[in-house]
């Protein structure tokens, strides 16, 4: 009898996993087929992976400006593609997409099993399916971004914690600490995981009804802490720091030191007219120190940041899932969250939200993808909120065609409401499956094709957003304040509408290029546009002098 029950449970779980993979893959394959280009952040991961492809040494690891785990996976995936004959610039993008998609599918599967322990199979399955169809989740999982790998490791650590809170062995938390440490190898935001562990364990021990034997609690803390500390220590040993950061001059920018020849040309008209923003690249000049010691009026930034983060989370969940999750916390008629393990859910959501608010206040920006790991938890809470609403509807007077069965036994309200929820889920997400991804980079991809066809393989390209030089497989140049000398690039890509989004160094380099260069080709920013806004500029030989890296 027990064996048949175990077999049935295994079949159910395998069926749920297969359904999750199938439902998640369909929209992602559609979006992949409509992808114009990767996101701009992809190039920092690809550049780091190319550094590692030359060999794993401490010097190379310490030279990377980002956490190295995702670039390392990207580099290994690219090596595998090379073995089957896939090469060239596009192969790096394909490798990144494979890593991201595989990590996301693994993330959903682990989230399903964690949700099973916290609620039940139905809630875990529907919660994972709901979030897997959201446009933003689809984009993150088919782009060259580290967030899905971070989310996978984050959720793996979370699932082991849930297992321990539900009576599993304390030593199992050794793997939770390992996964949490590896998540930090992928992204700085993973520091929230040990905070969730400490907060949940503290509340569990302080609440008399939930309290575990102190010996067991101590063993849990020791297992997680030792494993996490060793993993984090190894990261510091490999990279030489707690977190790699770009050099200050790359963040702040500075005025370019130009020679007399270049300075004299500053009075010349622009060959490519570009905008003159009132304060070029103001955002990159903001520093963490500027936000220290906030008092009085400055505290209003907390409320504003919190509101923007809530809007971002609403966009991540199409609003209705987030509203249902809030309703689930207010109305307990839905499936009950297992306690005290449920404290892990609460502190995960609150901790991640607080991290996003802090990021917005300190750095001036917020990215919903940094909260990717908690999306299935919000989805599962949303399903319990939907259940609570359905059960309230079942208590309403019978519909005209019903036979007046006892409350709670009538199914018409339940069926109608669930059809409405399914309609909302599909209706709010399906349209996004067919929208082209990163269509705004169409002009730069067209410029890349032009450069590949009309330039020599040794010609250096200056494209502030990297697309043209990378996809044309040409050497790329980036302006810096570190040294001065002749401008080494032969061609440059100028998009007047974007010039105000760069740091002062890059902005001045673009203006200089637009002044001395000769437009040779132009392309529309988006397909079908009648206005060419992406311009290929040919620079004179010999080049003028400009500060360079």
- For residue 466, pLDDT over 60 is answered with yes
Least confident of 29-43, 57-71, 84-98, 275-289: 275-289
- For residue 127, pLDDT over 50 is answered with yes
- For residue 545, pLDDT over 50 is answered with no
Across 462-474, average pLDDT: 92
- For residue 293, pLDDT over 50 is answered with no
pLDDT at 292 (0 to 100): 38
Q: Confidence band (pLDDT; 50, 70, 90) for 291? A: very low
- Spell out the residues 6+ positions from residue 268 whose beta carbon is closer than 8 angstroms to its own: 515, 516
Segment 311-370, tens digit of pLDDT = 888 888 888 888 899 998 888 777 788 889 999 999 999 999 999 998 888 777 788 899
Residue 220 or residue 511, greater confidence: 220
- For residue 14, pLDDT over 70 is answered with yes
Q: Confidence band (pLDDT; 50, 70, 90) for 376? A: very high
Instruction: Give the separation between CA 488 and CA 494, rounded to whole angstroms.
Output: 16
Segment 244-260, tens digit of pLDDT = 855 323 333 333 333 33
Across 461-482, average pLDDT: 87
Token couple for 382: 């949303």
Q: Confidence band (pLDDT; 50, 70, 90) for 7? A: confident
Residue 56 or residue 473, greater confidence: 473
Residue 469 neighbours by CB distance under 10 Å: 28
What residue segments make up the domains of the chain, in order of their start?
2-243+300-433, 439-548
pTM of the shown model: 0.86
Token couple for 11: 């079949």
pLDDT at 117 (0 to 100): 94
Residues in the chain: 549
Q: Confidence band (pLDDT; 50, 70, 90) for 225? A: very high
Q: Confidence band (pLDDT; 50, 70, 90) for 418? A: low
pLDDT at 319 (0 to 100): 83
Instruction: Give the separation between CA 35 and CA 374, rounded to whole angstroms.
Output: 26
The pLDDT > 70 percentage for the chain reads 82
Residue pair 369/147 in contact (Cβ under 8 Å)? The answer is yes
């Amino acid at each position: 009898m027990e064996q048949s029950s175990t077999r049935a449970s295994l079949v159910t779980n395998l069926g749920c996993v297969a359904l999750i993979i199938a439902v998640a893959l369909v929209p992602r394959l559609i979006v992949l087929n409509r992808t114009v280009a990767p996101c701009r952040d992809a190039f920092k991961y690809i550049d780091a992976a190319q550094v590692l492809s030359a060999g794993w040494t401490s010097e190379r690891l310490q030279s990377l400006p980002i956490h190295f785990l995702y670039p390392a996976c990207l580099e290994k995936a690219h090596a595998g593609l090379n073995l089957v004959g896939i090469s060239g610039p596009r192969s790096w993008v394909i490798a990144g997409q494979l890593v991201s998609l595989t990590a996301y599918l693994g993330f959903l599967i682990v989230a399903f099993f964690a949700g099973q322990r916290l609620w039940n199979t139905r809630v875990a399955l529907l919660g994972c399916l709901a979030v897997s169809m959201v446009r933003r989740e689809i984009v993150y999982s088919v782009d060259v971004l580290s967030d899905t790998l971070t989310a996978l490791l984050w959720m793996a650590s979370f699932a082991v914690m849930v297992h321990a809170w539900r009576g599993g062995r304390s030593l199992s938390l050794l793997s939770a600490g390992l996964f949490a440490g590896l998540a930090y190898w992928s992204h700085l935001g993973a520091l929230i995981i040990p905070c969730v562990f400490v907060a949940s364990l503290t509340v569990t021990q302080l609440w008399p009804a939930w309290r575990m034997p102190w010996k067991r609690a101590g063993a849990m803390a020791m297992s997680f802490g030792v494993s996490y500390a060793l993993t984090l220590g190894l990261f510091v040993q490999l990279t030489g720091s707690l977190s790699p950061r770009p050099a200050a001059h790359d963040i702040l920018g500075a005025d370019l030191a130009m020679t007399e020849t270049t300075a004299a040309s500053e009075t010349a008209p622009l060959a490519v007219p570009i905008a003159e923003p009132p304060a070029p690249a103001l955002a990159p000049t903001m520093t963490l120190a500027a936000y220290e010691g906030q008092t009085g009026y400055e505290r209003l930034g907390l409320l504003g940041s919190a509101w923007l983060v809530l809007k971002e989370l609403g966009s991540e969940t199409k609003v209705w899932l987030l509203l249902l999750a809030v309703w689930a916390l207010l109305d307990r008629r839905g499936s009950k969250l297992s306690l005290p393990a449920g404290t892990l859910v609460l502190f995960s959501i609150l901790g991640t939200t607080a991290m996003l608010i802090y990021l917005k206040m300190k750095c001036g920006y917020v990215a919903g993808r940094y909260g990717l790991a908690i999306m299935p938890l919000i989805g599962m809470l949303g399903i319990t909120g939907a259940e609570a609403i359905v059960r309230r509807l079942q208590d309403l007077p019978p519909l005209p065609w019903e036979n007046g069965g006892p409350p709670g036994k009538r199914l018409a309200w339940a069926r109608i409401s669930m059809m409405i929820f399914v309609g909302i889920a599909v209706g709010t997400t399906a349209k996004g499956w067919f929208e082209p991804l990163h269509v705004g980079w169409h002009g730069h991809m067209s410029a890349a094709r032009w450069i590949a066809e009309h330039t020599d393989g040794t010609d250096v390209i200056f494209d502030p957003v990297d697309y043209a030089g990378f996809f044309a497989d040409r050497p790329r140049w980036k302006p810096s304040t570190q040294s001065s000398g002749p401008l080494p690039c032969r061609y440059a890509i100028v998009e007047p509408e974007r010039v105000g989004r760069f740091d002062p160094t890059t902005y001045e380099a673009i203006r200089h290029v637009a002044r001395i260069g000769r437009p040779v080709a132009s392309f529309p920013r988006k397909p079908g546009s009648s206005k060419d806004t992406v311009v290929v500029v040919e620079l004179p030989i010999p080049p003028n002098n400009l500060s360079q890296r």
